[in-house]
């Protein structure tokens, strides 16, 4: 039995679905094929702590000081940061839509 590896896109989609409040944790798990509820809790904790760079880290690695491997180029760092900001923007837009209703 090996470890499950989830892409950063799946992690972002799970956080987005959880923050929308339209799906329960079990429904999110079924939708994205997540095996354990604690995995979702971990990703939510990373999101709340603004540690979005951790969505891209491989299993067993923990980036703290440089927020990523040393060999990551500036372009890749920027594109990852842009992707994270886009996700936050989408979540905030959905939240504002829910507030209007």
Domain assignment present for residue 20? The answer is yes
For the whole prediction, is pTM greater than 0.85? no
> pLDDT by residue for the chain (101 residues), tens digit each?
456 788 888 998 999 898 888 889 999 999 999 998 999 999 999 888 888 878 877 766 665 555 555 545 677 778 877 887 888 888 888 888 888 87
* Total tally of structural domains belonging to the chain: 1
The domain containing residue 42 runs over which residues? 8-100
Question: For residue 43, which phi and psi values (nearest 5 degrees)?
Answer: -65, -40
The string of DSSP letters for the chain reads -PPP---HHHHHHHHHHHHHTSS-HHHHHHHHT---HHHHHHHHHHHHTT-GGGGGPPTT----SSSS-TT--HHHHHHHHHHHHHHHHHHHHHHHHHHH-
Domain assignment present for residue 3? The answer is no
What integer pLDDT is reported at residue 89 of this predicted model? Answer: 85
């Amino acid at each position: 039995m090996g470890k499950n590896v989830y892409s950063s896109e799946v992690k972002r989609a799970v956080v987005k679905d959880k923050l929308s409040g339209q799906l329960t944790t079990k429904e999110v798990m079924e939708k994205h094929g997540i095996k354990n509820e604690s995995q979702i809790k971990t990703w939510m904790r990373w999101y709340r702590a603004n540690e979005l760079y951790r969505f891209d880290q491989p299993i067993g690695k923990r980036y703290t000081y440089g927020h990523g491997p040393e060999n990551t180029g500036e372009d890749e760092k920027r594109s990852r940061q842009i992707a994270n900001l886009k996700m936050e923007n989408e979540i905030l837009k959905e939240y504002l839509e829910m507030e209007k209703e």
